[in-house]
Amino acid sequence: MASVNGLNNFGIYSWFTISDIRGVVDLVMKRFSFWLLIMLLAIYSQLVVASQFKVVVINPGSAKSDTTGPFWANVHQIMQAAADDLDIELVSLFAERNHIKMKALAVDALALKPDYVIIVNEKGVGIELVRVFAKNKIPVFALLNGFNDKERESLSESEQKSLIGSVVPDNRKAGEHLLSELISLHENTSDSINLLALRGDFASAAATEREHGLQQALSVHKQVRLIDYPVGNWSKGQAYTTVKGILQRARVDIIWSANDPMAFGALEAVQEANLSYPVTVGGMNWDETNLNSTIDVSLGGHVVLGAKALAMLADYHQKDLKPCEMNVVIDIFQSSLAGNMRRFLENIADDSLSEIDFSRFSQAHAETALFSLETFISHTYLPLPSEPLTDKALLKSNCV
């Protein structure tokens, strides 16, 4: 057996076999590798703790399409894709269009111990949810339906502080734009146009703001006469029943609808009535079923704003956003007449969302992009505007 003759620390020669030396080396390497692994795991765990946080979303709809269409299912799908890119642990709870269940879900949300909760202020439930989470010191972010001044004033100072932000579409502008589009499309040579408006509900900010936009457009288009404005509760079935009854007693030239499902219900009633004159029908949402229907126009794009909410929370969590930057209104609605609806719907399908890098919408990214519908239509990332507070900007905040 091979051996090595060496002088030890005491000046005495010792004999070591090659196997002895290899054994010592192996032992040292194993111990070194073990401690190196421990150090790397410690560093990695610190990075994970620093970057990840939990968000619970109380979604008023369903995980799949429901009576109000696929809108809320699409909101969930897009938010999950964004959460994956932004390293956020996302949990979605679904109220199934039941505002009473929405209140009960607050208890489930608390049990999950989230860092933040995202809510939708529908039918006045939002205030109650804010109070529950404020009591438990959990920050709340409002999505799509925010809070008006009266609602905010009803909250205590501590409850107002817990409401850290919101992102909503410009619903007022959308309501105005939809009527203008319908008027331009309607084939009527007479001096007057009879309008039927289907409102979403009595209380939510989205329904109220869209109605205000409608009224603004009516003040400009004097030839349009509003004959009725019933509430359809965002439901295709309820809209169908309502419009069917109205058509039996009045002429309707244009039907303005606060969402696409109600527009589809109205369209079905019109088709069954076999009228001798044309009726122009429009709604909002860019629902997929609109691709194969004869609805005249739809405004959409706001379904992606849940992704914007998560990007804002990621920046807020890392202190990259000021409190005054946490409440924004985004002019994101686009008309189906622009020709982009089909591409948009294809690009938000399950297998296509992975092609979008949602981390680009965070200020932590080296190349932060403007949150724009264009990214979801053509996978193009727009640069941030040099003056984000100008009237033409897509993003408006409350910072002075």
Question: Do 274 and 362 belong together in one domain?
Answer: no
Question: Do 321 and 342 belong together in one domain?
Answer: yes
The C-alpha atoms of residue 400 and residue 240 are separated, in whole angstroms, by 46
- Identify the domain boundary among 35, 50, 65: 50
- Identify the domain boundary among 299, 327, 362: 299
Segment of 199-203, 358-362, 381-385 carrying the highest mean pLDDT? 358-362
Instruction: Say what the pLDDT of residue 158 is.
Output: 94
Instruction: Say what the pLDDT of residue 268 is.
Output: 95
Instruction: Say what the pLDDT of residue 230 is.
Output: 98
Question: Do 114 and 150 belong together in one domain?
Answer: yes
Question: Do 283 and 231 belong together in one domain?
Answer: yes
The C-alpha atoms of residue 285 and residue 166 are separated, in whole angstroms, by 20
In the chain, % of residues over pLDDT 70: 82
Calculate mean pLDDT across residues 249-264.
96
Q: Which of 50-64, 111-125, 213-227 shows the lowest per-residue confidence on average (mean pLDDT)?
A: 50-64
Q: Which residue has the higher pLDDT, 30 or 51?
A: 30
Neighbour count for residue 16 (Cβ, 10 Å): 13
**How does strand 54-59 pair with strand 89-94?**
parallel
Question: Do 306 and 328 belong together in one domain?
Answer: yes
- Per-residue pLDDT tens for 309-337? 999 999 999 999 988 899 999 999 999 99
Exposed, middle or buried by CB within 10 Å (0-12, 13-18, 19+), for 298?
buried
Question: Do 280 and 224 belong together in one domain?
Answer: yes
The C-alpha atoms of residue 178 and residue 275 are separated, in whole angstroms, by 23
Question: Do 189 and 272 belong together in one domain?
Answer: yes
Residue 50, pLDDT > 50, answer no
Calculate mean pLDDT across residues 383-396.
56
Residue 160, pLDDT > 70, answer yes
**Mean pLDDT over all residues of the chain?**
86
The C-alpha atoms of residue 330 and residue 328 are separated, in whole angstroms, by 6
Question: Do 277 and 362 belong together in one domain?
Answer: no
Q: Which range of residues forms the domain containing residue 310? A: 52-169+302-396
Question: Do 87 and 73 belong together in one domain?
Answer: yes
Question: Do 291 and 194 belong together in one domain?
Answer: yes
Question: Are 353 and 77 in contact, with CB atoms under 8 Å apart?
Answer: yes
- Per-residue pLDDT tens for 193-246? 999 999 999 988 999 999 999 999 999 999 999 999 999 999 999 999 999 999
Beta carbons within 8 Å of 233's beta carbon, 6+ residues apart = 200, 201
pLDDT confidence band for 1 (50 / 70 / 90): very low
Q: How many CA atoms lie within 13 A of 171 on its CB side?
A: 23
The C-alpha atoms of residue 107 and residue 236 are separated, in whole angstroms, by 31
Question: Do 125 and 156 belong together in one domain?
Answer: yes
- Identify the domain boundary among 246, 266, 299: 299
Instruction: Say what the pLDDT of residue 350 is.
Output: 63
- Per-residue pLDDT tens for 269-281? 999 999 999 999 9
Query: What does the DSSP assignment read for 129-141?
Result: HHHHHHHTT--EE
Instruction: Say what the pLDDT of residue 31 is.
Output: 60
pLDDT confidence band for 11 (50 / 70 / 90): very low
The C-alpha atoms of residue 151 and residue 119 are separated, in whole angstroms, by 15
Phi, psi torsion values for 5, nearest 5 degrees: -95, 120
Could you tell me if residue 308 is left (phi over 0), alpha (psi between -120 and 50 degrees) or otherwise beta? alpha
Q: Which of 133-137, 384-388, 393-397 shows the lowest per-residue confidence on average (mean pLDDT)?
A: 393-397
Give ∠ CA 76-129-302 in degrees, rounded to 5: 35
Calculate mean pLDDT across residues 351-372.
93
Residue 46, pLDDT > 70, answer no
Calculate mean pLDDT across residues 76-92.
97
Q: Which residue has the higher pLDDT, 80 or 122?
A: 80
The C-alpha atoms of residue 362 and residue 367 are separated, in whole angstroms, by 9
Tokens representing residue 249 in the block: 């007693």
Question: Are 321 and 363 in contact, with CB atoms under 8 Å apart?
Answer: yes
Instruction: Say what the pLDDT of residue 393 is.
Output: 38
The C-alpha atoms of residue 155 and residue 130 are separated, in whole angstroms, by 9
- Give which of 267, 274, 200 is closest to 240, Cα–Cα: 267
Query: What does the DSSP assignment read for 14-37?
Result: EEEEHHHHHHHHHHHHHHHHHHHH
- How many structural domains comprise the chain? 3
pTM: 0.83
Question: Do 332 and 367 belong together in one domain?
Answer: yes
The C-alpha atoms of residue 344 and residue 300 are separated, in whole angstroms, by 10
Domain CATH code at residue 357: 3.40.50.2300
Q: Which residue has the higher pLDDT, 214 or 188?
A: 214
